[in-house]
Amino acid sequence: MTKQLIDGYDGVLADLDGVVYTGPRAIDGATEALERLGKEGKRLAYVTNNASRSSEQVAAHLRELGAPATAEQVFSSALAGAELLAGQVAEGSAVLVVGSDSLADAVRAQGLVVYRSAHHQPDAVIDAVIQGFSPELGWYDLAEAAYAVAAGAVWVATNTDMSLPQERGFAPGNGTFVAAVAAATSKTPSVAGKPGPALFGTAARHSGLVRPLVVGDRLDTDILGGNRANMDTALVLTGVDSVHSALAAHVDQRPDFLIGSLAELYQEYPTIRPDGVSYSCGEAVATATVTTVTVSGREDHLDSWRAACAAWWAMHPEVTPSAAPEVSFTVALSFTAAG
């Protein structure tokens, strides 16, 4: 019997944007693939850096799209950020929340006092600032954060995603707003969400997962965070990163698997075979030098890129090259003798 990729794991820790949906639309086949996990006896948890909505709001949105979801399955950087902040300040401390109402609720649940602005309370001493994404944020909110951070407040960012996939393209993410405050204050926040490992560990522990597979579309958050959590990682090519960025990925951002969609969780993952200086995957064979990768195979076939990654990463196992390799493809023709 053919072994499916998912057979090696007891469940999935899935990112949302770029994996399950893009903007208001579900990615083709994604919800069906997630629904099938339960039928395969696998558990599912969602791990997201988006701190703008509550777990129930996220779960409700997922259900509207057709994906299986309960609030208990959703783990966001708002929870991780509030817990991180609570470990750095005393109970009852005054916290300026720059972000959503859900983030404010998570901070209150830690026994901290929430402020939305110190403008009308000039004598208030802000002990800490926590910054998360909200589409309603503007210059005024960032200015308030900058004033407090510059005055010495503890600063926590829920995440530093620079972009946010939307239906029309990629919009500024929380990282762009965090960068604005950092530029204004010359200070750097503690970061709670991905690419740190804490979110993954929390989600796995609460979900009862011993051997989860992390599935994400971003090398610098999902894959790096999963790798840091010592979990196997799969880059799905329906969001931000591509085969090109995967090939050139930093050493600690290299995924264990490259899959075109979530449906490939239920396919056998092709074995990558080393053969001296070359690496083969399916019918593709790749060879790397210090600066180039040559692939005998089709450029539009994922196996060619899997072989290319294996060859390039083996050539540079510990140090990431400063430049991406030059890649060339040849299409090997096969002939069948007439019977």
Active site residues per annotation: 15, 17
Q: By the 8 A CB rule, do 20 and 26 touch?
A: yes
Side-chain half-sphere CA neighbours of 129 within 13 A: 26
Beta strands, E only, the chain: 11-14, 21-22, 25-26, 43-48, 74-76, 94-98, 113-115, 128-131, 154-157, 163-166, 169-172, 190-191, 212-216, 232-236, 257-259, 272-275, 278-281, 284-288, 292-296, 326-330
* Exposure b/e, 236-247, CB count within 10 A at least 16 = b: bbbbbbebebbb
Among candidate residues 226, 286, 229, 277, the one with its CA nearest the CA of residue 256 = 226
The answer to whether 172 and 163 are in contact (CB under 8 A) is: yes
Cα gap 45→73, rounded to integer Å: 5
| Nearest alpha-carbon partner for 304 in 254, 258, 248 | 258
